[in-house]
């Protein structure tokens, strides 16, 4: 996975099970970024920690107020 440049394209176009992470990225998240790792389940990323269901969008994607852009 390439480093995120916060453009929103991957989050919008590939989030619904279309993104993956390497095992080393997942290991890093587990050890140093538990906020991200909480959305990993059985090697799949962007799975809701509450429901266990695949999210439709990246959990950090949000729409800016009164604008049609994502941040």
**Model confidence at 18: pLDDT above 60:** yes
Taking only the tens place, the pLDDT of each residue in 32-48 is 999 999 999 988 888 99
Could you tell me if 24 and 43 are in contact, meaning their C-beta atoms sit under 8 angstroms apart? no
pTM across the whole model: 0.72
Across the range 3-31, mean pLDDT stands at 80
Across the range 50-64, mean pLDDT stands at 82
Among residues 40, 52, 44, which one has the least CA distance to residue 20?
A: 44
Round to whole Å and give the CA distance between 35 and 33.
Answer: 5
State the pLDDT at residue 35.
93
């Amino acid at each position: 996975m390439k480093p995120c440049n916060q453009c929103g394209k991957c989050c919008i176009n590939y989030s619904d099970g279309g993104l993956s992470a390497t095992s080393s990225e997942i290991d890093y998240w587990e050890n140093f970024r538990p906020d991200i790792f909480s959305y990993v389940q059985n090697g799949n990323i962007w799975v809701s920690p509450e429901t266990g269901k695949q999210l439709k969008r990246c959990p950090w994607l949000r729409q800016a107020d009164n604008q049609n852009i994502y941040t």
